[in-house]
Amino acid sequence: MDVKIHVTNRQGKEQIISGPTDMSLNLMELLKVHEYPVEGTCGGMALCASCHIFIHSTNLLPEISSSEQAMLDDNWDSKDNSRLACQIPVSENIDLLKIELAPEDL
């Protein structure tokens, strides 16, 4: 099965991307495949926050881990709907998820 994700880029433009649920990808990897400017410098270990996104829908997402929460707590532009894309597996639970890329750290 493929899922569809509504992505708003840093310029406010929305696009729908899709990706397979059977390849053990996370949302950061899917964004990179679609050439979004998401660095993922830590390789998806929740250590850098370079894949910071805002969630704008009510999909059932995995609970925030303590390491993810610590990274978000240290990030100046975190909000209540902040997540790290590397911590969200591509599964049918995120079909039609609406996200926005967080601003780049300056």
pTM, to two decimals: 0.94
- The DSSP-derived string for 5-64 is EEEE-TTS-EEEEEEESSS--BHHHHHHHTT-----TTSSSSSS-TTEEEE-S----PPP
Q: Give the whole-angstrom CA distance, residue 4 versus residue 75.
A: 28
Question: Tokens for 60?
Answer: 């059932």
Q: Which of 38-42, 81-85, 91-95 has the lowest average pLDDT?
A: 38-42
**64 has a pLDDT exceeding 80:** yes
Predicted local distance difference test score (pLDDT) of residue 104? 84
CB 64 within 8 A of CB 86: no
Number of residues that this document lists for the chain: 106
In order of start, what are the domains of the chain with their CATH numbers? 2-101 (3.10.20.30)
